[in-house]
Amino acid sequence: MKLANLAGAMALLLMQGCAPPTEIGFLSPDGLSSEFSPHVDVAMVNALSIEQLTISLHEARRANIRLLVDLGPIMRQPAPASEVKGSYLGSDGNERQKQLAPAPRNKLWAKAGHADGMRRLQAYLPLLSAYADVVDSVFLIDEPYLNGVSRQAYAALAGDVRQTLDGAGLQHVKIGVIFSSALFNADFAQLIQRHAAAYVEAIDNEYLRIGDQPASPAEQAWRENIAQHRLTTYDLAGNIYTGGGIPEGVDWVSFNFYASSLLLDQTHEESLAWFAKRFADGACARFANTTVSDLRKQLSFFHDGSMRAGQHWIEQDRALLDAAHDCRMEGTLTLLREAIITSGRPVQIMLIGESSDNGLLEFDARSTPKQGQPAKLIELRVRDEVLRARNLLQRHEDIRRLLYFTYANAYDPAIALHIGGAADMPSVLAEIYRN
């Protein structure tokens, strides 16, 4: 299969006439900032509270930009342990029981979340109506399939939200969905499910190996740490929705497939190889039978020892990351167009790019961030990633919006790491703001 645009998809997505100019902005979960609002066309914020959302809506009106509202914090609530599937398919093909109980604040969606979310949405309707002139779209549950929400469940929620919005005089407000990578494709979703299960199996095997025997201090520390600080992947395994497809009732479809996700998320270990098998031409060809572990070994910033400095390394990293970006993004876009055609809905595509340094820091061979990060070199890598999204946008007329994640800096106390958004990287901001 070729990575070319599908003629039928273009006819469906572009509809008729010339497409309007693409809108560019930020996915800024904490809220809209006056620091960047004058420079963008659109922004997406989370609905964290009525007070927080009011500030963002007011700023959007002042700056005369469109605001997309992620209702996920309203709609979602962690699933109780009784609703989390505690088994997975092991590498031997047999069903295995997980050794650890689900985390209380897991990312899976509780069955009661639909009714409870609709009830909580009522409190926000007067605010959304008061700012109807700037509210463009709402998104309901972030990465639904990854977090165990089926296509049918998302469609049912979208239908109820549509009816509620219409009743509040918000008929113009669109409904969207953001997928994690290519999970709208059933075959790809099965791949991610298998790797999530492999992550669980590795933990469970070690847990069982230690068993009830007297554990060494290191083994005891591992057991205590893994019980508290394991990845959300542990709970997601066996619960990921793998049916694929585009939910009914949505007007916008989007996906994120960040460089940081590719390089740091173990579930993507074989993603490039999967795309290379599905799309044998173009940028994917070099990744045939290549794991992400292989890819990291070729990058200058995943290794033990001192930093690999110099133009040679910069150019080698850039070429490799260019190819990895083109492979996964072009492949995912092609799969998305196929899914849209199958759905029969004239939905529009929004792209989410990366503008943080999360996956572009200096790491050791175990993917642990090193101390003393080279700020200017990292900024160059982030700018390159921003340019990759911009270039992709220019190649595809059916991408109507491009949002960069994220603007603000953040601090992750769990790993004592400062994660830089675009805010403190002038060259990155300049590229995003460029007309």
Q: What is the pLDDT along the chain (435 residues), one digit of tens a residue?
A: 444 444 444 444 443 334 556 899 999 999 999 999 999 999 999 999 999 999 999 999 999 999 999 999 999 888 999 999 999 999 999 999 999 999 988 899 998 889 999 999 999 999 999 999 999 999 999 999 999 999 999 999 999 999 999 999 999 999 999 999 999 999 999 999 999 999 999 999 999 999 877 889 999 999 989 988 899 999 999 999 999 999 999 999 999 999 999 999 999 999 999 999 999 888 899 999 999 999 999 999 999 999 998 999 999 999 999 999 999 999 999 999 999 999 998 999 999 999 999 999 999 999 999 999 999 999 999 999 999 999 999 999 999 999 999 999 877 655 556 779 999 999 999 999 997
Strands 87-89 and 95-97: antiparallel
Q: CA-CA distance, 300 to 309, in Å (whole number)?
A: 8
| HSE of 402, CA atoms in CB hemisphere, 13 A | 25
Q: CA-CA distance, 324 to 329, in Å (whole number)?
A: 8
Of 244, 197, 17, nearest in space to 95 by CA: 197
- Taking CB atoms within 8 Å and a gap of at least 24, the contacts of 57-64 are 57/127, 57/130, 57/131, 57/134, 57/135, 58/131, 59/32, 59/33, 59/34, 60/32, 60/131, 60/134, 61/131, 61/133, 61/134, 62/34, 62/37, 63/32, 63/34, 63/37, 63/38
pLDDT for 350 equals 97
pLDDT for 24 equals 97
pLDDT for 391 equals 96
H helix or E strand, kind and range, residue 419: strand 417-419
Paired tokens of 419: 């994660």
Of 312, 331, 346, 301, nearest in space to 396 by CA: 331
Q: CA-CA distance, 275 to 280, in Å (whole number)?
A: 8
pLDDT for 415 equals 52
Q: How far is CA 281 from the centre of its chain?
A: 26
H helix or E strand, kind and range, residue 311: helix 311-343
pLDDT for 281 equals 81
Q: CA-CA distance, 205 to 312, in Å (whole number)?
A: 42
Strands 417-419 and 410-412: antiparallel
Which domains are assigned to the chain? 7-77+112-184+244-263+330-358+373-433 (3.20.20.80)
Q: How many CB atoms lie within 10 A of CB 277?
A: 13
